[in-house]
């Protein structure tokens, strides 16, 4: 059961990354992070950590 929740959480994180990439059509997130654009990196970090926290809290609530 833990493995299934882990796969679901990982899938949700990947979906959130692609949504973030889709919502920023002016630039590619990977390229901006590679060019040391810290603002994009910080937004990606906050999105990833925040969603991980929500996923973890929902797993513990079940």
Q: Is residue 38 part of a domain?
A: yes
Q: What is the C-alpha to C-alpha distance for residues 46 and 30, in angstroms, rounded to an integer?
A: 16
Q: Is residue 51 part of a domain?
A: yes
pLDDT of residue 57: 86
Q: Is residue 9 part of a domain?
A: no
Q: Is residue 16 part of a domain?
A: no
What SS3 string covers the chain? CHHHHHHHHHHHHHHHHHHHHHHCCCCCHHHHHHCCCHHHHHHHHHHHHHHHHHHHHHHHHC
Q: Is residue 6 part of a domain?
A: no
Structural domains in the chain (count): 1
pTM over cut 0.75: yes
Q: Crossing angle of helices 38-61/2-23, nearest 10°? A: 150
Per the structure, the complete domain to which residue 36 belongs is given by 25-62
pLDDT digits 0-9 by tens, 6-62 = 888 899 999 999 999 999 888 899 999 999 999 999 999 999 999 999 888 887 776
């Amino acid at each position: 059961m833990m493995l299934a929740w882990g796969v679901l959480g990982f899938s949700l994180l990947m979906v959130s990354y692609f949504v973030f990439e889709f919502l920023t059509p002016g630039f590619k997130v990977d390229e901006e992070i590679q060019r040391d654009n810290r603002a994009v990196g910080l937004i990606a970090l906050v999105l990833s950590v925040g969603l991980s926290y929500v996923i973890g809290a929902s797993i513990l609530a079940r």
